[in-house]
């Protein structure tokens, strides 16, 4: 006998997870949860198979099956929802469910992969292994299917939006492939698009949570939820809504709606498939896929958005907090300014080595003067005295006409 999970309304017992695939028990087994926090199976012969043994005593233990198919174990006395001491999603078997991850987690030390059943009726580990391969030094990640430790098939590398070479892993009406990489985690998962669902993907410094969702009509949205502890009041919130609604430009995030429910406040924006600029250019797995022409277009798009805010809109808006994390990227990598450290750049510029600022992960452009010109324009915009700074109209003109090399200005230290 096994501890298993299966879809309630799909086929005759479609099993998606087995807790003791290597250690079956005899008939009459029961699932147990004791006061020490142990999760186990015990059969009529009192043979015990452990599913999980915690490192310390758990005061108020809870074992719960979520609607996602994730069996979770947590201490309800001091952990918030979403923080688990153990979860079945960390121990996948042969089925990758939506939100279940493949890959490595530094915090838990778990490297998740899925492996086939030995036979149709035996869930013991089989010959096939499906995993996320981080690649050798300098290579991009890819998905690998192995048979008896030899590569059988592969999908990849990841190109920033999908794993190339495999149409089965591209966006469709049922699911979307998601890849994430930073210093703490490295994983791939799929997100279901069949029904409305939300998950946290970033958090701003104002304690506002951003949730990702899909409406019933298929429109993807990003919902910024402002916590009760936020210092922004309702009047300020409504002012922000009215302000954003009046700003309409292809390089600014588009507001779709808002909601006030008691003390909770929400802003609904268009969804940005490629997250924020910092998540791209500082991600070792993705930065190499963003070529210089793509980066140059992002630079020009940001400049056009600022010109609109400074000069072309009916309102004159100064952002005052423009940074990579506040520039969002849509599916076509079009930059969208949202959320109405140059000292290193200045040192390198002063030494005449500005070209070193170009990301070493991308191919060197044929025209280095274009790169140097963009750096110069950036420094001119950040000079200490406001009256010395280049206007955004001048910036766009210089970028569009590629006239940066004609600049004779020497920027002052920011």
Tens-place pLDDT, residues 108-154: 788 899 999 999 889 999 999 999 887 665 567 888 899 998 988 88
Which of 215-219, 242-246, 267-271 has the highest mean predicted lDDT (pLDDT)? 267-271
Give the residue-averaged pLDDT of 88-105: 89
Q: Give dist(CA 383, CA 349) in Å, integer.
A: 13
CATH of domain 285-406: 1.10.510.10
- Catalytic residues, which ones? 321
The mean-pLDDT minimum among 154-168, 228-242, 339-353, 373-387 falls in 228-242
Mean pLDDT of the chain: 78
Secondary structure of the chain in the HEC alphabet? CCCEEECCCCCCCCEEEECCCCCCCCCCCEEEECCCCCEEEECCCCCEEEEECCCCCCCCEEEEECCCCCEEEEECCCCCCCCCCEEHHHCCCCCCCCCCEEEEECCCCEEECEEEEEECCEEEEEEEEEEEECCCCCCCCEEEEEECCEEEEEECCECCCCECCCHHHCCCCCEEEEEEECCCEEEEEEEECCCCCEEEEEECCCCEEEEEEECCCCCEEEEEEECCCCCCCHHHHHHHHHHHHHCCCCCECCEEEEEEECCEEEEEEECCCCCEHHHHHCCCCCHHHCCHHHHHHHHHHHHHHHHHHHHHCCCCCCCCCCCHHHEEECCCCCEEECCCCCHHHHHHHHCCCHHHHCCCCCCCCCCHHHHHHHHHHHHHCCCCCHHHCCCHHHHHHHHHHCCHHHCCCCCCCC
pLDDT tens-digit series, residues 8-50: 766 556 788 998 899 888 877 788 888 777 888 887 778 888 8
Q: For the residues 282-290, what does the mean pLDDT come to?
A: 80
Instruction: Yes or no: say if 94 and 129 are a contact pair by the CB < 8 Å rule.
Output: no
Per-residue pLDDT band for 251 (boundaries 50, 70, 90) equals very high
Residue 171's pLDDT is 61
| Cβ neighbours around 22 below 10 Å, total | 9
d(CA 72, CA 90): 10
Share of the chain above pLDDT 70, in %: 79
* Gyration radius of the chain over CA positions: 26
User: Do β-strands 86-87 and 71-75 pair in parallel, antiparallel, or remain unpaired?
Assistant: antiparallel
Query: 198-270: what fold?
Result: Phosphorylase Kinase; domain 1 (3.30.200)
Among 163-172, 315-324, 343-352, 388-397, name the one with the lowest average pLDDT: 163-172
- Round to whole Å and give the CA distance between 320 and 126: 57
- 326 within 8 A of 338, measured Cβ to Cβ: yes
Percent of the chain past pLDDT 90, that is, above it, reads 13
Q: pTM for the whole thing? A: 0.47
Dihedral-angle region of residue 159 (phi above 0 means left; psi in -120 to 50 means alpha; beta otherwise): alpha
pLDDT digits (tens, 9 = 90+) for 45-84: 788 888 888 877 776 778 888 878 888 887 766 544 457 8
User: Around Cβ 62, how many Cβ atoms within 10 Å?
Assistant: 15
- Check: CB of residue 115 under 8 Å from CB of residue 129: yes
């Amino acid at each position: 006998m096994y501890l298993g999970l299966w879809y309630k309304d799909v086929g005759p017992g479609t099993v998606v997870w087995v807790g003791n695939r290597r250690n079956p028990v005899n008939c009459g087994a029961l699932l147990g949860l004791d006061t020490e926090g142990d999760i186990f199976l015990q059969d009529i012969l009192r043979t015990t198979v452990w599913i999980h043994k915690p490192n310390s005593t758990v005061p108020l233990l809870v074992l719960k099956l979520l609607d996602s198919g994730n069996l979770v174990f947590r201490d309800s006395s001091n952990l918030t929802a979403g923080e688990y001491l153990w979860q079945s999603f960390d121990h996948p078997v042969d089925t990758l469910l939506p939100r279940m991850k493949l890959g490595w987690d530094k915090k838990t030390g778990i490297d998740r992969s899925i492996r086939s059943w030995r036979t149709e009726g035996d869930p013991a580990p089989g010959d096939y292994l499906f995993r996320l391969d981080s690649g050798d030094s300098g290579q991009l990640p890819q998905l690998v299917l192995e048979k008896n430790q030899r590569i059988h098939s592969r999908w990849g590398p990841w190109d920033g939006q999908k794993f190339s070479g495999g149409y089965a892993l591209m966006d469709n009406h049922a699911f979307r492939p998601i890849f994430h990489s930073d210093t703490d985690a490295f994983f791939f998962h799929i997100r279901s698009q069949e029904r409305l669902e939300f998950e946290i993907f970033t958090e701003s410094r104002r304690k506002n949570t951003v949730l990702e969702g899909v409406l019933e009509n298929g429109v993807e949205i990003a919902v910024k939820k402002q916590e009760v502890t936020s210092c922004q009041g309702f009047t300020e919130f409504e002012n922000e809504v009215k302000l954003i609604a009046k700003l309409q430009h292809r390089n600014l995030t588009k507001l779709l709606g808002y909601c006030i429910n008691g003390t909770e406040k929400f802003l609904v924006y268009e969804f940005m498939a490629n997250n924020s600029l910092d998540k791209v250019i500082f991600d070792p797995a993705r930065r190499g896929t963003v070529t210089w022409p793509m980066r140059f277009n992002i630079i020009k798009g940001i400049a056009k958005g600022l010109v609109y805010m400074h000069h072309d809109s009916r309102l004159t808006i100064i952002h005052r907090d423009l940074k990579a994390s506040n520039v969002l990227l849509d599916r076509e990598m079009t930059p969208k300014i949202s959320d109405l450290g140059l000292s290193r750049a200045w040192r390198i510029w002063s030494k005449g080595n500005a070209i070193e600022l170009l990301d070493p992960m991308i191919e060197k452009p044929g025209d280095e003067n274009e790169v140097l010109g963009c750096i110069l324009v950036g420094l001119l915009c950040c000079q200490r005295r406001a009256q010395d700074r280049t206007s955004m109209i001048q910036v766009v003109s210089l970028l569009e006409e590629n006239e940066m090399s004609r600049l004779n200005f020497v920027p002052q230290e920011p």
